[in-house]
Structure formats: structure tokens, C-alpha cells
């Protein structure tokens, strides 16, 4: 059974600081997805990573994938309050199958 | 732009009522999914469908059923609503090929009293 674990689950950081969220998964896969969820809202796709060594960047967020280590990271650079949200990673192991989601990391950026 | 819509944003029902939650996607996606989301429990898959009239149980199917008569529409049915089914329900869809992301609807917050 595929397990996806994120850490930390809760992250409180100051504006301007850098931090990394980790996503570990238990079965071989080269397809990993990051989502953002604002309070009371639905999930919005952030990044799709489809190969070992894939790196994607959007603004202050950068995601990478190491399929050998079964690890993805979401790096936050110079955090701003608008990044406060819950971030989920998700993995699939077969074409078109269901995604398995991590528990989510609730990020709070304080002024 | 992909659009996944859900019939209601907020719904209040009484215990024992039959409840229908509807989801429609406009991108010809083969796969559709129903999740529920509760604080501290993350996203839990209730049912999914990979084709018209096809369905698979997810992790928590008890108390729910689904219907997919047309490709674009996937319905979640609570046969007899109970208070422990009070939750946020999220519908999603995606193509069946490798590496396609999943798109989510806006969610339905269901309260069963």
C-alpha cells in the first residue's frame, strides 16, 4: 500500500525566511503533484513533477523530485503572508490511477 | 481552463434524508473522484470512476453510493444521511493517461442535523 508522508504538518514562519516542506513516499513512482488549499477553499494545482530530478519554480515556491530517494521537496524562499495555506503532495503509481495524498502541511507566515 | 463544478457550495440536510451531490466536468476526463475532507484526517477517497457506469470503492465507501451515467457527471449519494457524514465533499477529475494532474471542484460543505 502506497504511503505518502509530509513533514512538518504544521509550520509557522516569519516573513522573509526560507523553509522546506518534505514529502516522502513508500513505493516507486516518478509522478508527484503539489497542491495548495486556502482555508475554506478547494485544492489548486501548483506543480506536476514527472521525472527524477525534475524541478519546477513559480514565484517564491520551488518543487523538486528525487525518485531514487522517494522524496519531493517544496522550498519556500523569502516567505510572504500570502503563502499561508495548506500544501499537499500526492503520488500516483500507475497510469491514470487514483492519487494518494499526504496529510498536508499547514503553513502560517507571520509578519 | 478546466472546470469542475459542484451543485451546491453549502447544504444542510436532516438525519435520514437521501442526499445527492452532483459534480460536472467540462474537459472530457475519463476519471472522476469523490473525497471527503475533515480536520485532522486529510483527504479521504470515497469512490472513483474511470469510465461511464464504472465505479471503484475508495477508502471509506460505507454509507455512500455513486452514479456515473454520463462521462461529464459523477454523483455522490448518501442513502440515509447521518450526522457523522457532516463534512466538506470535494469532487475531482483527471485524464487517465500518465502524469495528468487532478482538478478539483469548489467543494460542498454538507451539514447533517
Q: Would B31 be classed as within a structural domain?
A: yes
Closest CA to A58 of A94, A41, A83: A83
Q: Would B105 be classed as within a structural domain?
A: no
- Cβ contact B106–A41 (<8 Å): yes
Q: Does A20 have pLDDT greater than 80?
A: yes
- Residue A1, pLDDT score: 81
Q: List residues of chain A with CB under 8 Å from any CB of chain B.
A: 31, 33, 35, 41-45, 48, 50, 88, 90, 95-96, 98-99, 101-104
Mean per-residue pLDDT, A32-50: 94
Q: Would B46 be classed as within a structural domain?
A: yes
Q: Does A63 have pLDDT greater than 70?
A: yes
Count of pairs with CB atoms under 8 A, one residue in A, one in B: 51
Q: Would B65 be classed as within a structural domain?
A: yes
Range among A7-16, B38-47, B91-100 rated most confident: A7-16
Contacting residues for B62 by C-beta, under 8 A, at least 6 apart: none
- Residue A93, pLDDT score: 75
- Residue A95, pLDDT score: 62
Total domain count, chain B: 1
Q: Would B113 be classed as within a structural domain?
A: no
Percent of chain B exceeding pLDDT 90 equals: 87
Percent of chain A exceeding pLDDT 90 equals: 81
Residue B47 DSSP class = E
- Cβ contact B31–A96 (<8 Å): yes
pLDDT grade, residue B96 (50/70/90)? confident
**What's the gap in Å between the CA of B106 and the closest CA on chain A?**
5
Q: Does B93 have pLDDT greater than 90?
A: yes
> Would you identify the CATH topology of the domain A4-110?
Immunoglobulin-like (2.60.40)
Q: Does A33 have pLDDT greater than 80?
A: yes
In this predicted model, what pLDDT tens digit does every residue of B51-76 receive, in sequence order? 999 999 999 999 999 999 999 999 99
Taking phi over 0 as left and psi of -120 to 50 as alpha, with beta for the rest, A47 belongs to beta
- Residue A30, pLDDT score: 81
Closest CA to B71 of B31, B21, B22: B31
SS3 A4: strand
pLDDT grade, residue A2 (50/70/90)? confident
Sign of CA dihedral B23, B76, B30, A49: positive
Residue B26 DSSP class = S
Contacting residues for A18 by C-beta, under 8 A, at least 6 apart: A75, A76, A77, A78, A79
Domain limits of chain A? 4-110
Q: What is the mean pLDDT of chain A?
A: 93
Q: Would B61 be classed as within a structural domain?
A: yes
Q: Would B106 be classed as within a structural domain?
A: no
Establish if B47 touches chain A: CB-CB under 8 angstroms.
Answer: no
Q: Does A48 have pLDDT greater than 80?
A: yes
A45 contacts in chain B (CB < 8 Å): 101-103
Q: How many CB atoms lie within 10 A of CB B78?
A: 19
Which residues 52-111 on chain B approach chain A with CB closer than 8 angstroms?
58, 90, 92, 94-107
Q: Would B47 be classed as within a structural domain?
A: yes
Distance CA B107, CA A44 (A): 12
SS3 B52: coil
Question: Quick check: A47 and B95 in contact, CB under 8 A?
Answer: no
Q: Measure CB to CB from residue B101 to each of A48, A88, A95 and give the nearest one.
A: A48
Mean per-residue pLDDT, B6-21: 96
Task: Provide the residue range defining the domain that includes B30.
Answer: 4-96
Amino acid at each position: 500500500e502506497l504511503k505518502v508522508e509530509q513533514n512538518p504538518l504544521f509550520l509557522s514562519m516569519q516573513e522573509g525566511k526560507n523553509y522546506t516542506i518534505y514529502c516522502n513516499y513508500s513505493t516507486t513512482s516518478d509522478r508527484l503533484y503539489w497542491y495548495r488549499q486556502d482555508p475554506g477553499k478547494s485544492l489548486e494545482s501548483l506543480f506536476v513533477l514527472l521525472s527524477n530530478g525534475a524541478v519546477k519554480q513559480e514565484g517564491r515556491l520551488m518543487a523538486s523530485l528525487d525518485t531514487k530517494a522517494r522524496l519531493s521537496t517544496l522550498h519556500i524562499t523569502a516567505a510572504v503572508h500570502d503563502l499561508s495555506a495548506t500544501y499537499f503532495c500526492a503520488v500516483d503509481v500507475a497510469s491514470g490511477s487514483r492519487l494518494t495524498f499526504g496529510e498536508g502541511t499547514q503553513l502560517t507566515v507571520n509578519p | 481552463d478546466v472546470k469542475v463544478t459542484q451543485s451546491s457550495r453549502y447544504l444542510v440536510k436532516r438525519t435520514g434524508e437521501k442526499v445527492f451531490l452532483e459534480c460536472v466536468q467540462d474537459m472530457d476526463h475519463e476519471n472522476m473522484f469523490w473525497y471527503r475532507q475533515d480536520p485532522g484526517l486529510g483527504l479521504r477517497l470515497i469512490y472513483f470512476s474511470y469510465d461511464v457506469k464504472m465505479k471503484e470503492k475508495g477508502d471509506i465507501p460505507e454509507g455512500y453510493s455513486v452514479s456515473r451515467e454520463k462521462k461529464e457527471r459523477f454523483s455522490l449519494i448518501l442513502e440515509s444521511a447521518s450526522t457523522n457524514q457532516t463534512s466538506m465533499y470535494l469532487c475531482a477529475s483527471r485524464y487517465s493517461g500518465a502524469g495528468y494532474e487532478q482538478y478539483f471542484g469548489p467543494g460542498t460543505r454538507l451539514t447533517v442535523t
